[in-house]
A and B are shown apart, each in its own frame.
Chain A
Amino acid sequence: MSPHTAGTTAAPQAPSHPATVRTRDWMIVAAAAVLALIALYAVFVDNGNLVSATGGYLHEFSHDGRHLFGAPCH
């Protein structure tokens, strides 16, 4: 998520209208928040349903982190 935001920061096309810039910035922040929510879900809640191809791998990889931070685990 950081390369995404960094890339957009570095490319302020033209001196656009402040309102346009503000809308764009808020959209980037909203996108980052959605990504963050997905990441937290993947790490703390998913039991192998998020992407069927990952099966239990995601769950098992974050297994110790779940226990440590108090998220329910099997």
Chain B
Amino acid sequence: MTVSAETTPYPLLPLLGRGLAAGGLAGLASGLFSLLLAEPLMDRAIGLEEKRAAAASGGGHAHAAEAEELFTRGTQHLGLVVTAVVVGLALGVFFTLAYVLLYRAPRHGPASTWKRGTGLACAGFLALSLLPGLRYPANPPGVGDGGTVTERQGLWLAALVIGVLGLVLARHLYVRGERAGHGLPARQLTAAGVVVATLAALFLLPDNPDAVPVPAALLWDFRVLSLAAHVLLWTVLGTVFATLAARQARGEGVQRDPVR
């Protein structure tokens, strides 16, 4: 028991299971939230798009709408929830992987498990949701030219990579400052500075080339709800994972855990 605890600091597979559970729940919560609040907006945006297309083709039938009718809107609503769950599960896997790689030796007890889990979720939110989202905000259906989609995907993926690299650098400098004995204010300001610099670097990327022919109020509401869906996803992922991981640590009686 003691031997295996030393050689395998984290029982990997149970932790992966907890990551999947937390990710699946997070995706479900985010998907249902968006089904209730964001779908009415998307339906409205699609209605407007069809009107625009009909007007452009001189009152004939809407070409853009026709091309999209592989599925009914009802099926696409279901697709939203399924997509959110798939994304949650996938993020759960990477969350677990990052957690294990970052914190290989469990030196502290459950309280610190909570701090680590929620802290990692905050970092994930900044790196993958907020920073890329500030550079390339979400757009409702009806925005997005099929001809530029490959270019936009390249930009979007680049923004995700830059976000992750920025947060990795911020943490690296924070930990190095800790080892060098720098004070907390210096370390926190350094990390925050790196995050701001990352955001600035994201604005060196080219703009989204597409026009956004959507009423401003609808666009704003949609973007706020998109951000809310991201926040909900990471919040549930981080808190559920941290809770489950803390319980796992307690259940195994991690010996270096004098305080609860």
Q: Is A40 an interface residue (CB 8 A)?
A: yes
Instruction: Report the minimal beta-carbon distance from B209 to chain A, rounded to whole angstroms.
Output: 11
Q: Is A19 an interface residue (CB 8 A)?
A: yes
A56 and B70 in contact, given A63-B141, A64-B80, A68-B138 (Cβ under 8 angstroms): yes
- On chain A, the number of residues with a Cβ less than 8 Å from chain B's Cβ atoms is 42
Contact: B226 with A69, CB < 8 Å?
Answer: yes
The closest CB in chain B to the CB of A17 belongs to B7
- Proximity string of chain A (13-42) to chain B, C-beta cutoff 8 Å, 1 when within and 0 when not: 000001101100110110011011101100
Contact: B83 with A47, CB < 8 Å?
Answer: no
- Proximity string of chain B (89-129) to chain A, C-beta cutoff 8 Å, 1 when within and 0 when not: 11101101100100000000000000000000000000000
A31-67 residues with Cβ-Cβ distance < 8 A to B are 32-33, 35-37, 39-40, 43-45, 47, 56-57, 60-67
Chain B residues in 8 Å Cβ range of A66: 83
Complex partner residue of A21 from B8, B17, B38, B77, CB under 8 angstroms: B8
A61 and B71 in contact, given A2-B20, A32-B16 (Cβ under 8 angstroms): yes
Selecting from B146-154, B162-170, B186-194, B195-203, the interface stretch reads B146-154
Complex partner residue of B149 from A36, A39, A47, CB under 8 angstroms: A47
A2 and B79 in contact, given A60-B71, A72-B153 (Cβ under 8 angstroms): no
Determine the distance from Cα of A22 to Cα of B79 in the docked complex, in whole angstroms. 37
Q: Is B145 an interface residue (CB 8 A)?
A: yes
A73 and B141 in contact, given A29-B16, A61-B75 (Cβ under 8 angstroms): yes
Chain B residues in 8 Å Cβ range of A65: 31, 79-80, 82-84, 87
Complex partner residue of A67 from B13, B71, B133, B141, CB under 8 angstroms: B141
Q: Which of A9, A25, A36, A47 has the most CB of B within 10 A?
A: A36
Contact: B77 with A64, CB < 8 Å?
Answer: yes
Would you list 24 pairs from A and B whose C-beta atoms are within 8 A, ordered by A residue? Answer: A2-B17, A18-B8, A21-B8, A26-B12, A29-B12, A33-B94, A36-B91, A37-B90, A40-B86, A40-B87, A40-B90, A60-B70, A60-B71, A60-B76, A61-B71, A63-B68, A65-B31, A65-B82, A65-B87, A68-B84, A70-B137, A70-B139, A71-B156, A74-B144
New A-B pairs, 20, CB < 8 Å, besides A9-B14, A32-B93, A61-B79: A1-B93, A5-B17, A6-B17, A19-B7, A47-B149, A60-B71, A62-B79, A62-B82, A63-B79, A63-B141, A64-B39, A64-B79, A64-B83, A67-B139, A68-B225, A68-B226, A69-B229, A70-B132, A70-B138, A74-B149
Which B residues are within 8 Å of any A CB, using their own CB? 3-4, 7-8, 12-14, 16-17, 20, 24, 31, 34, 38-39, 42, 68, 70-71, 75-77, 79-80, 82-84, 86-87, 89-91, 93-94, 96-97, 100, 132-133, 136-141, 144-146, 149-150, 152-153, 155-157, 225-226, 229-230
Which A residues are within 8 Å of any B CB, using their own CB? 1-2, 5-6, 8-9, 18-19, 21-22, 25-26, 28-29, 32-33, 35-37, 39-40, 43-45, 47, 56-57, 60-74
